[in-house]
Structures are given as structure tokens and as C-alpha cells.
A and B are shown apart, each in its own frame.
Chain A
Amino acid sequence: MSPPDERSERAGQAQGVIYQQGYRHYRGRYLGRLHAVVSLAWADGKRALGIGRGWKYKLGFFILVGILLIIALIAFGTNAVTERIGAGGQSRSFYPFANPYNGFFDSANGIILWLLFALIIPDLLCNDRRYGTLRLYLARPISLSDYLAGKALAIVGVLSAVLLAPALLLFLAKALGAVQPGAYLAAHLGDLGALLLSGLLFAVYYALISGALASLTKSTGYAAAGIVGLLIAARLVGSTVLAFTHRRMATLIDLSQLVGQIKSSLFGVNQPLITLNIQFQNGSQPVTPVIVQPYPVWVYLLAALAAVLLSALVIGWRYRREVDR
């Protein structure tokens, strides 16, 4: 109640005071769907990084990330040696591995990255459908596309970080270890750009392919096995066809070759395919190395784009089916 003197001041005016409005629907400001997408991506990003997770997930995640960092350290060491003995002075187009950054993402650490994709992506995609939390998300003012955008943002963000962190550490170590760090940075800005771009490319490419596989099942185990299995099978089939036919068409079978070739081209490297010449004549099996030249990069770009679009279609179809049940 207003004090009496205040009331007397207002005497003669029609007055009304609300003391208790009771229950009212929220009438404040709404932050919009972009904010919701970012909130979802942030929560899933933390989840993928193991924050608040059980020890099993944390152990798996940090062991794999640890191995990636060790590989980066080894790359730093071996590169220092090759530079000292002179291989670094050779033509980069002929000695592609003389550039330490080009070896990232698809050589020694490739399989570790695949295992990381198999750990992270099914966990973020399958469990929501398995435990029904997808419907809880969709009982909010967000659409299925918002939900998928949030997931994609989280997956690509975390994969980019996992892919790029060891490579950037290596770059930083080399820059700081150089006689003139500033000069090193200026001379390798192109490498840095190629590193960032290829890291993002790998993250988007593998996020979509792995996401499409994960969308086919609610089981994280099956999805993880499917992701690693498909990538290994594609590599084995591609390598076998290449070994027997020596035709570059085989490179289009290996899913990792598609982005691998694009990455090499970003680094300005022509990465030839080295295979073995396997012949079966007169019972003898002479094995000699054969170098196969890859297609121009635009072929791999188109093939990778087709793989990405197909994956996006599969994800859209599977989730639409899940929601429209």
C-alpha cells in the first residue's frame, strides 16, 4: 500500500495498484534461434571434449589426443633431422614429406583421427535418439534443422580443434625454434593458411560422412565400428585395386584419398601414389614399386563434394524419418 501522505497527494485521480499479478506466461525478450543453436553447440562441444563425462570416455578421448600430440612431437623431431641432413632443401614438390604440415591428418595420425571421429560423433548423434532426448530438444522452439545445425557446429568445432591443435603446436614450435621466428612466420604463412583450411576441410568432410553413418543406427558401438570399418575398407579396397590395376581411378574409391589430395594441393604439393607392381607370371611374384600420378585436384574436389552431399542427404532423410514417425 502507498503511504497515506502519498495517497492524499494523489487524491482526486483515478488510481489502481497491482500488488500481485499471479502466474503469467513469460513476457520477456527472446534471444532467437541462432542463440539456441549456439547454446546447443556449446553444450555438445563440452560434452565431446569430455567435460562432465565418465572416466571411460575421458580416458579414450585423452589417450587418442595424447597420441596425436606425440605424433606431432615426432614429426617435429624427424623434420628437424631431415632439415639438418639436407632433405628440406630439396624440391617440396618432389619430396612432399619434407613439408611437415602436409603429413598431418592423413598419414601416421590418420587412423587415430578416425578413432576419434568414431568416439565423438556417434556419442553426440546416437545417444539423443537412443534415449529419446532428441524429442526433448524438439519440444523447444527449435526446428530439426536448428538441432542439426547445432550438432554440426559442435562436431566440426571439436574436430577442427582436435585436428588443428597438434599441427598448430608443431607450427608454433618450429616458428619459435627458428633463428628468426618472424622470418619463419612470414615464409610459412601459406603453410599456416593451408593448414587451417585443410583442417577445416577434413573436419567438415569427416563430420558429414561419419554423421551419415551414425544416423543409420542408435547404437554408438555399431556407429563407431561402421565409421572405422568404412574408412579402413575404403582404403584397403582402393589400395588393392591400385596395386593390381595401377590406375588412378582407384584413388576415387579411398575416401581418405579424396580430401588427402585436396590437402596436398592446398600445400602446393603433387602427391603421387606409390604402389607395388604385383605380377603373377610363371609362379614368380616380383614386387617392384610403381608411381601413379593422381587426377587433377578438381576431380577430387567434385568427388569429395559428392560424398559430402550424399552424406548430408542421408542425415536429413534419417532424421526426418525419426521425427515424422
Chain B
Amino acid sequence: MSPVIEIERVTKRYGQVVAVSDVSFALAPGISGLLGPNGAGKTTLLKLMAGLLTPSSGQVKFFGQKLRRHPQLYRRLGYCPEQNELYDFMSGREFLKLSAGLYGLADPAQAAEKALEQVALSAQAGRLIRVYSRGMRQRLKFAQSLLPDPEVLLLDEPLQGADPAQRRMLIELIRQLGQAGVTIVISSHVLYEVERMAQQIILINHGRLIALGDFHAIREAMDDRPHKVLLEVSEPQRLAALLTERELVSAVNLADEQLVVDIGDANAFYGALPRLIAENGLHLRRLSGLDEDLESVFRYLVH
């Protein structure tokens, strides 16, 4: 199956400033989180994918074609921009009807109502956008990206400004769309939310691609960073001594009944631990990785 979006050696410069530098990757259906600190080049990369910026070098392909040369391809794409300025002189419903008209949908009114329902904005749809709260604008932007029932959704900080209930609703909607086979790229700096949605991450910093793929696999691949593991065990001091003696850990921290260890070679550690526990008559109550989450991966790679 050919990739939905292909980025081939793309560089984007603004004068002397390089916003995106020699980035290459391909995306297939599913949810991908586009991560990076502020100014990393996330929005620029999303705009390049949406055909709204022209690369200084390299090329971006959407279903094998260049978007800007084939405007009809936009029927397959929903784009939710970061900016909050919309058409303030319109009501939410009018804005969506105009957007549906620009997509060329046969029944703009019906498409608008469907999108409004999807983001739970029907009740406020008749009000002018200029009186909308930030969260409502956010949902409206999201709604306009859903109008063509897109095959690809590019979402730039779609949860910004939304309250916790709205965030939950939007995350659930994004997950459902991802499960239904829509290719979704979601840029966010709220890592735990991306972790709840995205199957893979695209991590960029200073315009360069730092990591791509399943974040658990990326964490596994980071051999130079010790894994932190928490153990709740009957005799933590004894286990600490045993692990140190066998050089299975590089650092040990003891607190109450808990033992936190830094492990270099995860395979050796996890291979030896069960035998060590059994042979020494210890009782292991809890074992969990402390830096297996997305935030740790992000911290390790970016800082």
C-alpha cells in the first residue's frame, strides 16, 4: 500500500532561518502525533503537508501527487489550523455552510449540521463567531475540517482552549476517526493527550526529524539512556545489593519499601530478575517502568 503522505528531503527556509531541515518520512492510515518544543517547526511541517507552504527543497506528496497542483485533492483532506481568527462576521453555521460550499459538497447545510453535531456545537451554531469562546472556536475549526468526511486530517493543536470535558470528547472523536482508518496527524505539546490518541509519534526539534515511530519502540531503541524501573519488594535493600553485585543496574535509589533502579541492559535485567527473586525468596509486589511514557521519551530526545 502506498503511503498517504510522503515527505521527501523537505527543507523550508525563511531567509536565513531554517524552519524545517531535510525531513523525510511517510505516513500510512492511523494517528500520528507531531511533537516538538515551541518553535520546533511543527506548524510549518503541517502546512507543508497541507500544501499551504511550498518547500524550499524536496517534495511533499499527498496520495502520490502534489496538493497545490491538484486542488481537487483537498476534498480528501481536512485541515484544522492553529490560528483562532475565523470569519467573525458569520455565525458558526454560516461559516460551516460556506466551507462546505467551498468543498463543493452537494448539500452544504446538511454537511454543516452533521459536523456541528460531531463536535457538539449545534446549540451555539446560530451565534456569531466573534462571541465564541476559545474552546468553541476550537471545536468549530475542528468541525470545518470534518466537513468532507476526509481521508486525511491534519490537526494543529486541536485541543488548545478546550475545557476538560471538551478535550475528552475531542480525543474520543479523534480516536474513533483513527480507528476508522483516517490518517490523522495531530500536533500538540500536551504529551499525555497525544499518548492517549497516537499510535506513532513524529518528533522534531530545530526543524529536524528526531524520531519517528511507536514511542515504546523508540524508547527501547534509546540504548544510551538508562531505563528507570520501580520495584516494590519484600526486602528492597537485599535486592539492591544483589542487583549491584551482578552489575545489572547502574544506579540504585531506596525509599521506604520501594526501590528505583537505573538499568543499562534491559534484556539482561529482565532476564535475570525472576531467577534472582525466586532463588532469594523475595516477594515482588510491583514492577513498573518510570520512563516508558511519551513525556520521558520527549525529555530524553529534546533536552
Contacts and interface: CB of A to CB of B under 8 A. Distances in A.
Interface of A: 22-26, 28-33, 35-36, 39-40, 43, 47, 51-54, 131-133, 135-143, 146, 323-325
Contacts of A141: 71-75, 102-104
A52 B89 contact: yes
Given A135-B52, A139-B52, A324-B54, A30 B90 contact: no
B149 A24 contact: yes
Interface of B: 14, 47, 50-54, 68, 71-77, 79, 81, 83, 85-87, 89-91, 94, 98-99, 101-108, 111, 128, 130, 144, 148-151, 176-177, 180-182
A125 to B, nearest CB: 14
A39 B98 contact: yes
B105 A132 contact: no
Nearest to A33: B104
Contacts of B108: 39
Given A35-B101, A141-B72, A325-B53, 8 more contacts: A23-B149, A25-B76, A25-B148, A26-B75, A26-B149, A54-B89, A139-B50, A141-B73
Given A23-B181, A325-B54, A140 B85 contact: no
- Secondary structure type dominating chain A contacts: loop
Contacts of B52: 135, 138-139
A40 B91 contact: no
A138 B91 CA distance: 21
A138 B73 CA distance: 12
A323 B67 CA distance: 13
Contacts of B182: 23
A36 B104 contact: yes
A29 B106 contact: yes
A40 B98 contact: yes
A139 B53 CA distance: 11
A25 B150 contact: yes
Given A30-B75, A139-B52, A51 B101 contact: no
B293 to A, nearest CB: 29
Contacts of A25: 76, 148-151
A31 B105 contact: yes
Contacts of B91: 52
8 contacts: A22-B180, A25-B150, A132-B83, A132-B85, A133-B86, A136-B81, A139-B50, A139-B52
Given A52-B89, A52-B90, A133-B87, A43 B98 contact: yes
